[in-house]
Every structure is written in C-alpha cells, then in structure tokens.
A and B are shown apart, each in its own frame.
Chain A
Amino acid sequence: MAAAEFKVPKIDEYPVIPHLQEDAMAHSQPYIAKPDFQEKLGFPGELVDNWKEVAIDKMGELTGKYRSLQVFLDSCVKCGACTDKCHYYLGTADPKNMPVARQDLFRKVYRRYHTLSGKLFPKLVGAEDLTEEVLDDWYSYFHQCSQCRRCSVYCPYGIDTAEISMAAREVMDAVGKGQKYCNEIIGKVHVIGNNLGLPEPALADTLEGLEEDVEEETGATVRFPLDVKGADVLLVTPSADFFAEPHIDGLIGYAKVFHQAGISWTLSSFASEAANFGMFIGSYENMQKLALRIRQAAIDLGVKRIVFGECGHAWRVAYSFLNTLAGPFDFLDQDYPVPQHICEVTHSLIQEGKLTLDASQNDDMVITYHDSCNVARASRMGDRPGGQFEIPREIIKAVCNNYVDMPSYSIKEGTYCCGGGGGLLTDDLIELRVKGALPRMEALKNVVDNYGVTHMAAICAICKSQFSKVFPYYDFSMDQVVSLHQLVSNAIVLPPDEDSLPGEEQAEAA
C-alpha cells in the first residue's frame, strides 16, 4: 500500500497522441489465480506441462466456434485507424497498447499454427511461434484491455479487440494461467450469489439499515424488499450497490422510484449480483452459469419482470445475451422489455408524469454524464437507436437544472472507458487504471474549467468505483462521481407517511 510509484500523466488541454515508449507497461501484470480459484471454474489449477499444445488447440477451437473471431484475425489490413483510439495507449504510450498491436500478439500465433501461409512462410506473414515470452506478453497486455470496444468503432472492418481479448483470456485460463481478480469473484458468485461474497443475513441487515435511513431522512416508509415471492419486479443489481459509495445512493434512488410509482419489487439473495465476469474472461460456460441464477430467481420468486440496476457490462450481458444464455423468458410479462434497465423504468415513469420531482434539490451541482462503454457500444435502451445515450441524459435533465456534456469525441459511441473495466478494477493494476483514466480526466477537466461542472454521473458500478479511486490522482475529489439514481433520489419528492408519527412508531417497537 505504498504511495504511487509511477508518474501520473499530465492533463493536457486537448488530447495529445503520445510518443512511443516501448515496453513502458511490460511490467504490468495482475496476480495469477490460485489453483483453488481456477479449479472451481473448471480450469487447470496451474500452468499445465503441455501448455503450448493446449493453447494452440484451444485457439483452433475458438476460431472454429466463433466465426467472428476468425474474421477479426484474418481481416486486419494494418491501416492504423485504431492506433490512437485506446485510452490505455493514450495514457501509457506503450505501443503494445495500440489495439492493432494488442491483436497482433494473438494474431501472430494464430497465423503460425492455423493458416497455411503462416505454417509455410512464417516470416513473410508476421507469424511467430508460441513461446513463454509470448504467453507472458499475453498475460500482461490482454490484462491491459478493458474490452471497451472504442477501437472497433473506428476500425473500417469493425474488428473487435474485446473479442480477441476475451479469447486470449480464455486460452490462458485453459492452460492454467488465469487472473486472480476475475476468477476469485466468479467462484464467489457460483457459491454465494454475488461478487462481494455477501451472504443473505448481511444483505438483509444492510437493506434494513437503508429503510431506516430513508425513513429518517424523508419520513416515508420506503421498502427494500428481499426474496418477496409474487413481487412484480425482480431487481438484479451489482452487489457494489449494497456496499460501496456512491453506488448505494443509486440503490436508494431505485427504491424511491419503485415506491412512488407503486411498483411491487424485490431483490433476490440467490441472484444478488448483476455483474457477470464470465464475459470478461471469455468463458461462455461460466457466463451462462451466472446468468442462470437470475432465471432461477425469477422463477422461484414468480416475478413478472426483470429489471437491471446500474451496471455497464451486466447490461451488455442482459441486453445482448440473456435470452440465449438463460432463455426463453416466456414466463415473464411480454408487455415489458425482457430484461429492462432501471433507466428505462425511471424514464417511462417521468414521461408518464408518475414521479414528483424537484430538480432544484440538485442545484448545488453542475452535472456531466459519463457514458459507460458496455452500455454505449454494446447495447441499447428504449425503442430507438441511440436510446442508451438519450435516456440517461433525459433523466438527468429532468432531475437537475444544470447539465453539460463533455467534448463530443469523448461521449456517446466515442466514450472513453473509465480505465477500470473488463476485469481490471483491482489494486494490483492501479498504475494501469490511473494512466488509462487520462483521456476521461482530460475531457472532464475541460468541462470543469470551462463550464463549472462539479460532478460526473455514471450508471456502472465499475466506473463509479474506478473514478472514486483515481479522481484524487488528478486533483478531483472522490465524491465528485455520483450515481445517476442518486440524482433521482435527491430530486424525488416523497410525502411523509401520514401514520408514521414518532409516538406510534415507538409504541410499535415496544
């Protein structure tokens, strides 16, 4: 826990493409998963003796199974459009963090063993043998990709580095070289139901505390129901919403929205996690096993709708994959999107005039909004293209009087990753996280300096934790990041219960 042993990048007035510094981040590697964590997920405990054969075979299996992967590996023409689009390259100057170079770490091995030209004339086609050094590079640089897909927006062929990154991690897991942070967490969800390892009694206690807090603050009895059978809505949210700040303020916001709209809802102690780190490690089997918990909870509780809380990659899994992973969801009410995002719920209620809002409650803030990569580039909200950009902004504008967007190159489909996504939100990668946040920090500083922005709202648990952690490195304060539903929570006007006079409550408690 020593102080930063690296240089925090300087914020420039506008983005500058850095001069190359070869191997600047070659030392950056996350902790390796212990045998115990590996085996629980169905991977070898440690590096297997014949790891080369296993890796080459696995690579062949993946390119055969995922045609997209093979197309991405075959179609790059080295045009260079992606080179300056990665936040990790911009923040670290390491050329291997250029998306094309990152892909090539994998591509050169694919060519060597899985293409005719690479087998016959490796030197002519940039094919290389799989060696320990290459594996080492994979471990380092595929854990310097947050799978944010910004580069793919600018690639004329639409090559998705995230998919290559996921495949590389899957190959590494298959040979027994997995990452501690992701794999330990996935193991916890399989057993306990959430990333934190938060058991039911602790969750129940936390929720009870929140009910007390909200009642104290507003005089209204706002429930945080857990495992209530027959509720209409199952809310699945990242477990960080039960634990961290400002996440928990967002959770309070969801509860207030449901309360005021009269929607019956529940959380589940079995599916107490929206996050699905199975995606980060490219493991379909683990991703599916995690997703099936949500299906199970929905069936057991007999709900009609599934709503996801503020989580970026969870929404990608939910919106894009949930139906094929864990469907069909024909037992849910088909009048609502399956699944639905909490922002869609709140947005509809605002449009229908079902929420009483006082935007002046947020007058102490000038807000900007950080589009989370997985929401922005891998999903949608609402019923029109771009809904994932407009709906959160429309909610913020309904609950805040002061809103300013960051520069156009840094928002919506061009948004920069927070620097901690894709399974990299771990202290052993703090240098990478701080440096990778640079482009977002630059864009934020721009609106802070020019428009007096005081806070940045986000709808992703990883983004919120990452910004709380890295803001101080860039002279912002950790509480300048807020949950979107925290703003809703501030603005929502809840009439105090008519029957909750203090005297009565005491009588009841006695």
Chain B
Amino acid sequence: MPLEVNGKSFETDEEGYLANLSDWQPELANAMAEADGAELGENHWEVINFLRSYYEEYQIAPAVRVLTKAIGKKLGKDKGNSKYLYELFPYGPAKQACKYAGLPKPTGCV
C-alpha cells in the first residue's frame, strides 16, 4: 500500500514500513502518524532524529536502552525511560518510532 505525500507516492511494505529507506522525508513521518491518529510534537522528533542518526552510523535501530539513555540526556532524566517512550509511541518505541523514522522494522524475538 503506497503512501501519498505531496502528490508523490511512496512504496511501503504490508505493515506500513517504508520500502526504500532513502525515500524518507519528514512529511512521511507526519503522514504515517496521522494515519495512526497521532500528531508528532517536538519530543517525538527528538526520538525520530536520534533513530535516524543512529541508523546512519550503525545500519540498525538502537537498543531500547540506548535510546532511553540518549533521550534522557536530551530531554531530561525523567524522560529517559521506556515508560515515557511508550507514552510518545504507544505501539512501542522500537517499532512505531522506527516506522515513522523510515527505518526497517526490528525483527527477532522483540
């Protein structure tokens, strides 16, 4: 099911993850969030941006613990925990946030 943004169509897989990671642009994240009935605020973007830069370096999404630590440093210790990340991304920071960030879905026993 392709995703339409700015008059362009972007290929996604069955679960709505972007097929070509290089297609990603911020509008796509907003469109995906909208489809889930969510709106992305500044703190969501902190997470998405961190995921993207980590992915660029390591070709994989960061461990949940790595993510919470990084967010804690950026947004304050009270937000550096998975509870806060689940508030931001109720379907799970690893999966929902990765999807918005244009990363592939983490696979395995997770």
A residues contacting B by CB (< 8 A) are 1-2, 31, 180-181, 184-185, 188, 194-199, 201-202, 205-206, 209-210, 213, 238-240, 242-245, 247-248, 275, 311, 425, 427-428, 461-462, 464-465, 469, 478-479
Chain A hits for B106, CB < 8 A: 196, 243
Instruction: For the complex, give the distance between the alpha carbons of A479 and B106 in Å.
Output: 20
Residue-by-residue, is B93-110 near A (CB-CB < 8 Å gives 1, otherwise 0)?
011100100001011111
A195→B14 contact, CB < 8 A: no
Say whether, besides A1-B16, A244-B94, A245-B65, A201 and B108 are in contact (CB < 8 Å): no
| Complex CA distance for A180 and B63, rounded to whole angstroms | 23
Q: Which of B14, B57, B83, B86 has the most C-beta atoms of chain A within 10 angstroms of its own C-beta?
A: B14
* Contact status B109-A245, CB under 8 Å: no
Cross-chain contact A206 with B66 (CB below 8 angstroms): yes
- Distance of A462 Cα from B94 Cα, bound (Å): 16
Nearest-CB residue, chain B, relative to A32: B14
Listed A/B pairs (26) with beta-carbon separation below 8 Å: A1-B36, A2-B36, A31-B14, A188-B107, A194-B108, A195-B108, A196-B110, A198-B60, A199-B58, A201-B57, A202-B58, A202-B62, A209-B66, A209-B69, A238-B109, A239-B108, A239-B109, A242-B63, A243-B63, A243-B94, A243-B110, A275-B108, A311-B109, A427-B95, A461-B110, A462-B109
**A209 close to B65 (CB less than 8 A):** yes
Tell me whether A195 and B65 are in contact in the complex, defined as CB-CB below 8 angstroms, given that A31-B14, A427-B15 are known contacts.
Answer: no
Instruction: Report chain A residues within 8 Å CB of B82.
Output: 245
Q: Which A-B residue pairs are the 7 nearest by beta carbons?
A: A195-B108, A202-B58, A461-B109, A240-B109, A244-B110, A243-B63, A196-B108
CB distance from A37 to the nearest CB of B (A): 11
Determine whether the beta carbon of A197 is less than 8 Å from that of B16: no
User: In angstroms, how far is the closest chain A Cβ from the Cβ of B51?
Assistant: 13
Is B53 an interface residue, CB under 8 A from the partner?
no
Q: Which residues of B contact A194 (CB under 8 A)?
A: 108
Q: B107 is contacted by which of A196, A242, A245, A247 (Cβ under 8 Å)? A: A196
Q: Name which residue of chain B comes closest to A201, CB basis.
A: B58
| B83 contact set on A, CB distance < 8 A | 479
Given A209-B65, A428-B14: A243 and B108 within 8 A (CB)? yes
Is B59 an interface position by the 8 A CB rule?
yes
Q: Apart from A196-B108, A213-B69, A240-B108, list 8 A-B contacts with CB within 8 A.
A: A31-B14, A239-B109, A240-B109, A240-B110, A247-B109, A275-B109, A427-B15, A461-B109
Q: Given the complex, which residues of A lie within 8 Å of B66, measured CB to CB?
A: 205-206, 209
Near A by CB (< 8 A), chain B positions 55-78 give 57-60, 62-66, 69
Measured between beta carbons, the chain B residues less than 8 angstroms from A247 are 109-110
Nearest-neighbor residue (CB-CB) of A189 within chain B? B108
Using Cβ atoms and an 8 Å threshold, which residues of chain B touch A209? 63, 65-66, 69
Output the residue of B58, B92, B95 with the most chain A CB within 10 A: B58
- B109 CB contacts on chain A under 8 angstroms: 195, 238-240, 244, 247, 275, 311, 425, 461-462, 464-465
Contacts of B94 in A (CB 8 A): 243-244
Is B16 within 8 A of A248, CB to CB?
no
Residue of A nearest to B69 (CB): A209
Q: Which of B15, B60, B83 has the most CB of A within 10 A?
A: B60
Q: Which of A1, A213, A425, A464 contacts B91 (CB 8 A)?
A: A1
Q: How far is the CA of A425 from the CA of B110 in the complex (A)?
A: 8
- Give, as a whole number of angstroms, the nearest-CB distance from B37 to chain A: 9
- The distance in angstroms between the C-alpha atoms of A31 and B14, with both chains bound, is 8
B81 to chain A, nearest CB (A): 10
Give A313's nearest chain B residue, CB to CB.
Answer: B109
- Contact residues in B for A181 (Cβ distance below 8 Å): 107
In the assembled complex, which residues on chain B have CB atoms less than 8 Å from the CB atom of A201? 57-58
Cross-chain contact A196 with B60 (CB below 8 angstroms): yes
Report the separation of the CA atoms of residues A311 and B109 in the bound assembly, to the nearest whole angstrom: 10
Query: What is the CB-to-nearest-CB distance from A181 to chain B, in angstroms, rounded to a whole number?
Result: 7
Q: Verify B60–A428 contact, CB threshold 8 A.
A: no
How many Å lie between the Cα of A183 and that of B53 in the bound state?
28
Contacts A188-B107, A194-B108 given; indicate if A248 touches B58 (C-beta within 8 A): no
Bound complex: CA A180 to CA B15 (Å): 12
Chain A residue nearest to B55 (CB atoms) is: A202
The answer to whether A195 touches B107 (Cβ under 8 A) is yes
Instruction: Give bound CA distance, A205 to B59, whole Å.
Output: 12
B21 vs chain A, min Cβ distance (A) = 13
Give the residue name and chain of the B residue nearest to A207 (CB): B63
Bound: A196/B66 CA distance, A: 15
Give A462 to B107 CA distance when docked, in angstroms.
12
Cα distance A244–B92 in the bound complex, in angstroms: 11
CB contact between B59 and one of A202, A427, A464 (< 8 Å): that residue = A202
